[in-house]
Structure 1
Amino acid sequence: MGQALADVLGVSIVATPQIFLLACLAVLLGSVMQGLSGVGLGLVAAPVVILIDPSIGPGPLLVLAMLVSILMLLRRHGPLDRPGLALTLSGRIVGSLAGAGAYALLPLSVFGLVFGLLILLGVLLTALGFSVERTRGNLVSAGFISGVMGTLTSAGSPAIALIYHKSDGDTAKSTLAAFFCASSAISILALLLTGRFSLQQALESLVFVPAMVLGFLVSGVIAPWVSARQVRATVLIVAALSATALVARSLLALI
């Protein structure tokens, strides 16, 4: 379906149908993880897609992150941490502008290396599993860090997840979904302002929508049979492996 949609839109994502299928599978798996845990699309899919083609950039994946967050909000109607959401988004605005500025200055040859290292940092932060006290300063700081990482890699979830690590499940997932929906739009706007998001990239993101929606639907079906620990481990392993491969390839290219 994704390849047919690509033909209709007149865009070409990757060189071969086999590699395109791999990218769609990464988006599908990331969407499953996102639907189960509230995070995962960026960490799982982003390094795989950028490993395939660094020129795609974070824009299309940010569009997918925004769309899957909308689906999360429709699925979950838990209470929002509105004061915390406002503080994290204020930090996200500044961080997104900083991330977009950095992306505009980074040569494509260096982008893959920076991208991979930031994903590995996100994996490390998530794997440590510690929580950060939910103070005003920490909320703004987490929003800023998420803005920088999310705009550069489309994976800005680890910094925010540390804040809500021990919060009530429904509140945390609803607040995270609302944050990622709004923050993805902020990052896309920042990329637009710096000339790093185009109509072509918007069309490219639509090609992956069927895989994203299918993954989200699958997450609802399998949710009763998987544990949060299993989901978390899968996200970290896939993200770490693909990010390591991206860093290795980028280093070899630079050398």
Structure 2
Amino acid sequence: MTPDDAYLADPGLAKARHLQRAGQWGAALELIDGNASELRAEILVERHVFRLDPVDEAVEAVDAIAGTALATLLKAQLEYWRQLFTLDGEPIMDDPVAGFARAAQDARLAGWATFHGAIATENLHDDGVNSAAGYQRAARFARDTGDVFLESYVVRHQGDQAINREGDRERGIALLRRSLQLRAALGARPQVAAAQIALAGELPAGPEADELREIGRRTARELGIPWLSE
């Protein structure tokens, strides 16, 4: 995943990027020509991550940009999700944590690769200490580059850690709310649905939690996101 400015400067690619943010992955792909192989790979990987559809098309698109740091980052994402959800299929790469570390050597991708490395460290290696340090580094990248989308991901996971590892529910909920607000400001519908459901799960039972959960699940059903719609 690359910063938005890699694509928004190009009017044609900007339209595809905005459709991607809205979860309209098929429509976004229809706008991409043969010169936008990196964006095509990103969109197909993101669609797979949310829909858990067959991975072959995403792998093929990533193979088309083989040898790049972005290909390493995207393959590490695919392998992370394969392991996290114990999906069928052959391994896509070796340890995704190592893959993210390799991708982070590219300055353009350092923030996102650091963030994804922190997630994999937390969820696959059960290492809360090093993952927290990774989130802090990714947060600095987000601030330094003005990448609000990256910040929305970082604070989402920092919120989880504040609640579950630090026992600081008030701070954690504030971070989850910030993640939701940032994603809403960007029009990132799949990520907004995920943030709504995550926040609902941490709020006391009541109208706000019920409404967030209902709206998030409705969006997930519309966009075909099975693991959020149940």
Instruction: Give the TM-score normalised by structure 2.
Output: 0.31
Q: Which has the higher contact order (CA 8 A, sep 6+)?
A: 1
User: Larger % of helix: which?
Assistant: 1
Instruction: Give the TM-score normalised by structure 1.
Output: 0.28
